[in-house]
Structure 1
Amino acid sequence: MGIVMKGADVANAMKEELLQRVAGLKEKGVSPCLAILRVGARPDDLAYERGAKKRMELLGIDCRTVELPRDIRQEIFEEKLKELNEDGRVHGILLFRPLPGHLNEEAAKRIVDPGKDMDGMCPANVAKVFAGDDTGYAPCTAEAVIELLDHYKIPLSGKRVVVVGRSMVVGRPLSMLLLKRHATVTICHTRTRDLPGVCREAEILVAAAGKARMITQDMVGEQAVVADVGINVDEEGNMWGDVDFETVQEQASHISPVPRGVGSITTSVLAKHVVQAAERQTDNE
């Protein structure tokens, strides 16, 4: 029976260091601040916003929400984003995506200040993550997986890691973070030939394809470490990961649940990014 890797334990461990760093900033007269830019009021955005605000409050980080109407024009949306770029009191910006279809998301990625881009969406941060440059901000969910593995003392150097999922939010940036830690990484997806066979070769398996319970026991090697990043909600409102948790737990040495796994760490990573941004902006003044 595999050890369950709980996100709350990781978040609590990160909390102590972040509280100290926030206190250090406030001694210098700097109050770290996150601005959440939200267009419309999608239920999943609102749920994440509540969690992010709660985490920021717990750590002494200011958090403000800029809510824009769903039918906002592109030029006004861009003006609001530029205002946050230029506001010296704001150290980090989180833009909820996807944007409504009439808005140009690629334009937003190019406009946001890379030093305030807390979820690693702009081209400059993407390039830094792929280059292994520590000054770039990775997407919070991708970095949360690394925090999870580190907390549970899962060695990465030299390990065979399979990442199922190739999105720019998790799969690809996570693969770059793993490579930086000297793992040997294979990126798979739903069209990979003999996906079960490839997954069975993994010492560490990360499921991030967005398909409920697609990773079954026969796809997991004996005593593998399994990190489940999937969030899938059925018609009855139940949340499932990409891993069939009950059966895979019998096969794995460590496994993260859904919910209360990787997702519980993302707001802590977001807070970490805000603190880093505040420290860097303060040092550059």
Structure 2
Amino acid sequence: MAESTTTSTPSQTTASTPTTTAPAPAPAPAVTTTAEPKGLLLKADAIANQFRAEVQSSLGRAERKPKLVGILATSSAPSKSYAEFTRRQCEELGFEFVLRKVGAALNSVGEGGGGGEVLGEGEGVEEAIVEANEDGSVDGIMVYFPIFGAQQDHYLQQIVSPLKDVEGLHFKFHYNLYHNIRFLDPKSLLTATPSTGTPLTSTSTDTDQPPAGMVKSIIPCTPLAIVKCLEYVGVYNKILPYGDRAYGRTVTVINRSEVVGRPLAALLANDGARVLSVDIDSIQEYTKRPRVASNPASSSGEENVKARYHPRHVVHASGLSLRECLAVSDVVVSAVPSAGYKVKTEWLKDGCVCLNVAAEKNFEKDVRDKASIYVPAVGKVTILMLLRNL
């Protein structure tokens, strides 16, 4: 709607006294209009660079180049692009990278396959994974998903040896993530059962360094990349104890897939945040804060610590709408694989931090009118997390 303007004219009067000429008015000062300041557009490069330096430092201490095998079994353009991106990053940093193409990936590059036989999507991928598992020269394996669909792809994720799983998709690592078990005995990866480690509590450790004889549990690359982005922009408070540095933050995560949305919600909640997990058919709240207040009559310090938060997040049904979630969220992460899905800018909380994780842009073009920081993509950080895991 056009902005209304009001024009005033001086009133005309008739006087019997002689008319005198008034001095001309001084020219009105020029009015400078400035646009409303927009939030910061933060590219992932600056965040990735600090981890690139960390990875290069680790490589400098390695006895040999770590070897990563990528398995491409699909003709999907995004998968092929990601494989090429992985190759470039590995070569730039000094990793050895081998891309093994099977199934439809062979057809798509004109290599035939079986004497001119046309191979289907995913054909031969299971055999390629088993071969890489058994190859002693291979340190890490990544498979470019999706291939068949959620159920069969999940099966393939479990075939990758947990000793070589750089993407953190094996059930052992997912179990640890959901149960807030951050460190593990490497020998436990050789057993068929999940880890029996201890969930992190405020009394277990004040550092992110594993105790003697333990190593960090691998965390899925994309959720970990998002956490690192949030640490970089100050959403995490470093003054607070390790494992509770997102306390006081409310985060909406739009998508509840097992690759991104659900593990991310669990990670953030286990770090102290209140997380509103939004999916197509429901909204859930992830939090490790008990809903019942601690007993004020108790004088036991240990009981008060237990009452402050659970060892790991708890999931509750939420009666909030998406609009109500966004109105109270300090951070909004969207990972909806649809070009048509957009988060409404008008629903956002002023000054929030927004991260787009989907291949498509899930936020409207004017997102920075409300957001203080907008991160349009995290792919460059994700690949550094994968190499860091390796």
Q: TM-score, normalised by structure 1?
A: 0.84
Instruction: Provide Cα deviations, 1:44-87, integer angstroms capped at 9, x if missing partner.
Output: 11100111111111211111111112336989543321121122
Q: Which secondary structure does the structure 2 equivalent of 1:265 belong to?
A: helix
Pick from 121, 130, 147 the counterpart of residue 178 of structure 2: 130
**Within the alignment, does 1:243 sit opposite 2:367 as a pair?**
no
Counterpart amino acid of residue 97 in structure 1: F
Contact 1:114 1:124 in 2 (8 A): yes
**Alignment match, 2:141:** 93
Work out whether 1:36 is the aligned partner of 2:70: yes
Aligned residues: 258
Structure 1 contact 196–218 (Cα < 8 Å) conserved: no
Counterpart of 1:199?
Answer: 326
> Which of 4, 8, 12 is the matching residue for 2:49?
12
- 1:19 to 1:72, Cα distance in 2 relative to 1, 3 A: same
Moved over 4 A (4+): 72-76
1:166 maps to which of 256, 261, 269: 256
Q: 5+ unaligned residues in a row in structure 1: which ranges? A: 233-240, 275-285
Return 122-131 or 11-20, whichever deviates more.
Answer: 122-131
**One-letter identity of the residue aligned with 2:49:** N
Q: Distance in 2 between matches of 1:81 and 1:164?
A: 32
Do the aligned residues in 2 keep the contact of 1:208 with 1:230 (CA within 8 Å)? yes
Indicate how the Cα distance of structure 1 residues 75 and 46 shifts in structure 2: closer, same or farther if over 3 A, else same: closer
Is residue 247–residue 272 contact of structure 2 (8 Å, CA) maintained in 1? yes
Question: Greater CA deviation, 58-67 or 187-196?
Answer: 187-196
* Map 1:1-285 → 2, pairs under 5 A: 1-25=38-62, 29-70=63-104, 71=119, 76-100=124-148, 104-134=152-182, 135-155=216-236, 156-192=246-282, 194-212=321-339, 213-232=341-360, 241-244=361-364, 246-257=365-376, 261-274=377-390
User: Which segment is superposed worse, 151-160 or 190-199?
Assistant: 190-199
* Cα deviation, residue 16, structure 1: 0.8
Deviations 1:131-185 (A, max 9, x none): 2233332322111111111122222222111111101111101111112221111
Q: Alpha carbons of 1:177 and 1:87: their partners in 2 closer, same or farther (altered >3 Å)?
A: same
The structure that is helix-richer by fraction is 1
Tell me if structure 1 keeps the 8 A contact 2:332–2:355.
Answer: yes
Whether the 8 Å contact between 1:189 and 1:209 is mirrored in structure 2 is: no
Q: 1:74 to 1:256 in 2, by over 3 A?
A: closer
CA contact (8 A) 1:163 1:187 kept: yes
The residue identity in structure 2 corresponding to 1:3 is L
Deviation sequence 1:239-281 (CA, Å, 0-9, x none): xx1111x312011111112xxx21222111111111xxxxxxx
1:202 to partner: Cα distance: 0.5
CA contact (8 A) 1:55 1:271 kept: no
Q: Distance in 1 between matches of 2:127 and 2:60?
A: 33
| Distance (Å, rounded) in 2 between the aligned partners of 1:107 and 1:160 | 34
Q: Distance in 2 between matches of 1:189 and 1:75?
A: 32
Q: Which residue of 2 aligns with 1:277?
A: none
2:206 counterpart residue number: none
Shift of 1:97: 1.1
Secondary structure of 1:249's match?
helix
Displacement of 1:204? 1.1
Asked if the contact 1:74–1:104 (Cα under 8 Å) also holds between the matched residues in 2, the reply is no
- Separation in 1 of the partners of 2:159 and 2:97? 21
Given that 1:190 and 1:209 are in contact with CA atoms closer than 8 Å, whether structure 2 keeps it comes out as no
Q: How far, CA to CA, are the matches of 1:5 and 1:73 in structure 2?
A: 37
Greater C-alpha Rg: 2
Could you tell me the percent identity over the aligned residues? 25
TM-score (norm 2): 0.62
What amino acid sits opposite 1:96 in the alignment? Y
